[in-house]
Amino acid sequence: MQLLAVPMASSGGGGITLLLPLILIVGMIWFMSRTQKKQRQRQADTVAKLSPGTKVITTSGLVGIVEETDDDYVTLEISEGVLVQVVKAAIGRVIPEEDAADEPAAAADDDAETTDEATTPEKVDVPDAGGEKADGKVQDTPKLPPTHTEN
């Protein structure tokens, strides 16, 4: 048995087809590193703005007011008389002053609505309330799955 080697036909553009994926990969790496650099710069700016009295939210969701700042740590007051020391890198964002001023006003509006509703209660007709459908038939209660198997 004799094997014949047949040369494969080349398309002629082999160099550019190998170079294009490499260019795309380098471009993606450059774009991702640029995005990370911007995020680090924003974080550094946020930490640099910290001063006593600033209201902040940590990356773990803890809300507090800055009491004191060191080189590496920030002391937050999370409740009246409760101080917590966190790493500066854990500060997620600073709550602007106007947002902090709007919160008590919004709470006062909610309290006003609550007192109005308490003085004039309205009856709301909910068809599924009480286990009855709108046509007067009793709904089946949902059945729980069995807790054990019977043999």
| Domains of the chain, start order | 17-118 (2.30.30.30)
What's the pLDDT band for 64 if we cut at 50, 70, 90? very high
| Between residues 36 and 14, the one the model is more confident about | 36
Please tell me the predicted confidence (pLDDT) of residue 48.
82
- Weakest mean pLDDT among 12-21, 39-48, 53-62, 138-147: 138-147
CA dihedral 40, 43, 48, 50 (to 10 degrees): -170
- What is the pLDDT averaged over residues 45-72? 88
Please tell me the predicted confidence (pLDDT) of residue 82.
92
Please tell me the predicted confidence (pLDDT) of residue 6.
59
What the block records as the tokens of 17 is: 């087809």
Straight-line distance from the first to the last Cα atom of the chain, in angstroms, rounded to the nearest whole number: 69
* Helix (H) and strand (E) counts in the chain: 2, 5
Q: Which pTM value belongs to this model? A: 0.45
| C-alpha count within 13 angstroms, C-beta hemisphere, residue 118 | 6
